Chains A and B, each alone.
Chain A
């Protein structure tokens, strides 16, 4: 086991020295052929023989109590095997590794759709029909369904980001030559991965196997064991392919616990795939927010004080809180700094992590504010940002590990043709279309999470990588093969990657954009151990080795890798974790978004014509998959700016639009071609792979760039997102 804690900068020598030339290359996805041929097996696929179907019966009120549950009619229906509502471990909501869900029998209703019963039947159709025949009597009560009407708690202990009050804000704003003070609002967002939350559960004696759609296999195993009150060692979790996560699959949904309970009760495997509308109630969503952004500066735009405060919602028993100002913390200079997220308690399904918690919605406030402030000061928006680019972290004073934000502005502006932008809003017309351009900074904090991997070099000279890491579309299979291929001198076709099985070495999992850097580092460390053993067998020092296409060369001697293994596989493990360096440096990925929009002067329709971004993500492990992740995030930003809008019916606590028909994620016709460029600087402070966060960087700031472009096109500043036609129309200039 080679173990490295990031107590100082670390770069495996062989990561840059190999002759293979694989790392960073735009290699096609390892799992590409499986995915385009429909043979990749997701959670609901490959069930054992005789598997039953489960359907979850949810509460039809948003607050109150259950008086009685009558299952007689449902049980009598053809094909029904069991209707379960009395197991003491019945979950009322999502679990995670820290918290088992509140259990029942659920006589108290915490939110609409809360699981009350599960119907198990021989067919999907029978289970669904019988679910409709379960009769539940309720005693409804008043619920807190309107997050904007609920009482705001400033003093709470929720979330990982504490309130920060550095300096006297009132005094600083009173002294400032220019004071900016505006409020912004963002709606509920659903993660809406295309693959529904789904589970197959089966028992072998007292051992449980769960195949589910999950981002973090190890945490899921812990959560399932806690929820079912059983030893972790007797739970196996499988997630070889995951049809998107976006934060929504970081926990364990109640359907997984219910499937396990039902499989135990019936003695047969049980599978459940949540219907689309039910996902919104049994999973989590991103809170709506209201945000206030205050900036004090002098007439040159030098910021003296910055305050980013907001309000986020959460249900009673959950401890997560959207860290609204997280991305603003290290973004701009300014001595006085206040950051806070206040809480409103609501009787709605839980809020949780959705792609880039904090930055995805916080950047709407800070990056629109900077655009507005630049105009008030008569400055170019990039120039205002340049004047406030800090040399060290403006909050902690720590050095940045790597920060190429100014380069991102410069290269982005040059590639986009920013100098051709008309600074006066509403001044460019093409027929009935108003044309505008906007930009925004992008920032996503970089996290390092403990991760382990095992690499086996087998008798044929092939390498096998094993870790419980997941690939949720991020490209994990591919980048891990590239790291090992680079270091061991093997093509991707000589490498097997096995992921998503809790029996394999525990990894960071997919979340917080920490997966690639953390898991790739574990693989790199394991490969260092293999190289040391190969060197010993070659009677050479590890740094003398050169490996390419399955041949090891040292001191003028070349030997096929397979001969060196000599029928005795080399097995090595690597483990990487955060350390002193992780705390001593301020780490984030950065970028700059540029956007051109056309707004119809008659209808208010917004068309995004061009988007271009330049990004600083440390080492690019695969230019193709990294680009795809950034582009995907940028498109989320477009949809957040213009269409995604989860609506709560504040009378009932129901979601009005929890499906693809009414909650408008971007479709193909909403999206232009998008340019993504990287400024690559390997970050040895971040992790041995030198890679920083990618998956959540693209969304951070992208929507603000769209909003700023819409303002530049029309002169209408919308601060209540999304920017829909009704909000633009009243302010559009005369046609």
Chain B
């Protein structure tokens, strides 16, 4: 089968039981996406598929033959960090770093969701522009667990980038 990840086409002969996460990590050498729970409870495996953030541990690889898949490796390498990655470093928005690729992928798609005006549980209104303040960011990022609990710094990093791009 063929998979398009970070704009590159990969060939892989995968077991039908293989998750999208395990395809990337175990077959294609893309180990940036992490496995924390394998049950969609922690968000460490978050990838961006066709523009939307998903838990890649909860979906089978064989379902994504024609999809546009983006992982942390597609956002910026260590020598070419994108603004969100840089903001995570300067705000110390991680400690052990294990949840970090998922946090960054999640935040990338989340900023787009807000731009499209999608409301959240804490939004005052269901229509109109979304302002990504601390409460909105916290709410929208609560699918990504950080056991080191860098949450306040994660909020600061995302807000800085969201505000700069607004």
Quick one: which of A193, A624, A668 contacts B141, CB cutoff 8 A? A668
- Chain B residues within 8 Å of A474, by CB: 95
Flag A530-565 by CB within 8 Å of B: 1 or 0 each: 000000000000000000000000000000000000
B8 at interface, CB cutoff 8 A: no
Task: Say whether B42 contacts A275, CB under 8 Å.
Answer: no
B62 at interface, CB cutoff 8 A: no
Which residues 126-166 in B have Cβ within 8 Å of A in the complex?
Answer: 134, 137-139, 141-155
Flag A273-290 by CB within 8 Å of B: 1 or 0 each: 101100000000000000
- Size class of the A contact interface (CB-based, 8 Å): 35 or more
A-B contact count (CB 8 A): 186
Task: Say whether B147 contacts A674, CB under 8 Å.
Answer: no
- Chain B residues within 8 Å of A33, by CB: 78-79, 81, 85, 89
B-side interface residues, number (CB < 8 Å) = 62
Which residues 575-630 in A have Cβ within 8 Å of B in the complex?
Answer: 624-625, 627-629
Flag A34-74 by CB within 8 Å of B: 1 or 0 each: 11111111101110000000000000000000000000000
Task: Say whether A37 contacts B73, CB under 8 Å.
Answer: yes
Quick one: which of A35, A129, A627, A673 contacts B134, CB cutoff 8 A? A673
Task: Say whether B77 contacts A39, CB under 8 Å.
Answer: yes
Quick one: which of A41, A192, A243 contacts B31, CB cutoff 8 A? A41
- What residue of chain B has the Cβ atom nearest to residue A676's Cβ? B152
Chain B, interface SS category: loop
Q: How distant is the Cα of A327 from the Cα of B26 in the complex, in angstroms?
A: 45
Quick one: which of A192, A195, A671 contacts B152, CB cutoff 8 A? A671
Task: Say whether A194 contacts B36, CB under 8 Å.
Answer: yes
- What residue of chain B has the Cβ atom nearest to residue A635's Cβ? B149
Task: Say whether A632 contacts B95, CB under 8 Å.
Answer: yes
Flag A654-696 by CB within 8 Å of B: 1 or 0 each: 0000011100011111111110000000000000000000000
A473 at interface, CB cutoff 8 A: yes
- What residue of chain A has the Cβ atom nearest to residue B139's Cβ? A669
A338 at interface, CB cutoff 8 A: no
A409 at interface, CB cutoff 8 A: no
Task: Say whether B138 contacts A668, CB under 8 Å.
Answer: yes
B117 at interface, CB cutoff 8 A: no
B3 at interface, CB cutoff 8 A: no
- Chain B residues within 8 Å of A202, by CB: none
Q: How distant is the Cα of A718 from the Cα of B152 in the complex, in angstroms?
A: 28
B68 at interface, CB cutoff 8 A: no
Flag A216-246 by CB within 8 Å of B: 1 or 0 each: 0000000000000000000000000111111
Q: How distant is the Cα of A246 from the Cα of B148 in the complex, in angstroms?
A: 9
A636 at interface, CB cutoff 8 A: yes
Which residues 161-199 in A have Cβ within 8 Å of B in the complex?
Answer: 192-196
- What residue of chain A has the Cβ atom nearest to residue B36's Cβ? A194
Q: How distant is the Cα of A114 from the Cα of B143 in the complex, in angstroms?
A: 31
Q: How distant is the Cα of A276 from the Cα of B151 in the complex, in angstroms?
A: 22
**Interfacial residues, chain B to chain A (CB-CB below 8 A):** 15, 17-18, 22, 25-26, 31-39, 41-42, 44, 71-73, 75-79, 81, 85-86, 88-90, 92, 94-101, 104, 122, 134, 137-139, 141-155
Knowing that A36-B101, A37-B73, A241-B96 touch, tell me 11 more A-B residue pairs with CB under 8 angstroms: A28-B89, A33-B89, A36-B104, A37-B75, A194-B36, A243-B97, A244-B98, A276-B36, A276-B38, A660-B36, A667-B143
